[in-house]
């Protein structure tokens, strides 16, 4: 498994790098390009923090309370996922464990080097 070091929301992480491929298949040039362009936008992940907090507060306000001081109490980044895509959109998902939904986790999706949405991991896989 390939690893990648990133700073996410102010903390250093070494994440698994997961390309959507069948065993024996090569990573597509478009997947490599999606990753390269995503990584060239340094502030992209940091700019998603407020959206992730909003998602958590909307989904689990009763358990969390009024504000989130430390996102890592609830969300823990685990991997970057780069799916195969049949269209020209470049997708990258920051796959995270989510305290309140351990079965489905949470994904922060980026499309064409912009924040797209936050949701359960099933929306990107």
| Cβ-Cβ contacts under 8 Å for 112 (sequence gap 6 or more) | 89, 90
Cα separation, 5 vs 43, in Å, equals 15
Q: Both tokens of residue 31?
A: 């997947």
Sign of CA dihedral 55, 59, 62, 64: negative
Confidence of residue 22 (pLDDT cuts 50, 70, 90): confident
What total number of domains does the chain contain? 1
Q: What is the pLDDT of residues 33-63, one digit of tens each?
A: 999 999 999 889 999 999 999 999 999 999 9
Residue 3 near residue 17, CB atoms below 8 Å: yes
Quote the domain boundaries for residue 113: 2-123
Tens of pLDDT, residue by residue over 64-116, are 988 999 999 999 999 999 998 767 889 999 999 999 999 999 999 999 999 99
């Amino acid at each position: 498994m390939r690893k990648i070091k990133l700073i996410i929301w102010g903390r250093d992480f070494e994440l698994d790098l997961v390309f959507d491929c069948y065993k024996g298949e090569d990573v597509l040039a478009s997947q490599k390009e999606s990753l390269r362009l995503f990584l060239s936008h340094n502030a992209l992940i940091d700019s998603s923090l407020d959206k992730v907090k909003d998602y958590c507060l909307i989904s689990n306000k009763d358990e969390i309370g009024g504000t989130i001081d430390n996102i890592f109490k609830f969300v823990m980044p685990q991997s970057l996922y780069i799916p195969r895509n049949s269209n020209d959109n470049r997708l990258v998902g920051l796959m995270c464990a989510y305290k309140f939904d351990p079965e489905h986790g949470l994904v922060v999706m980026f499309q064409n080097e912009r924040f797209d949405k936050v949701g359960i991991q099933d929306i990107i896989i």
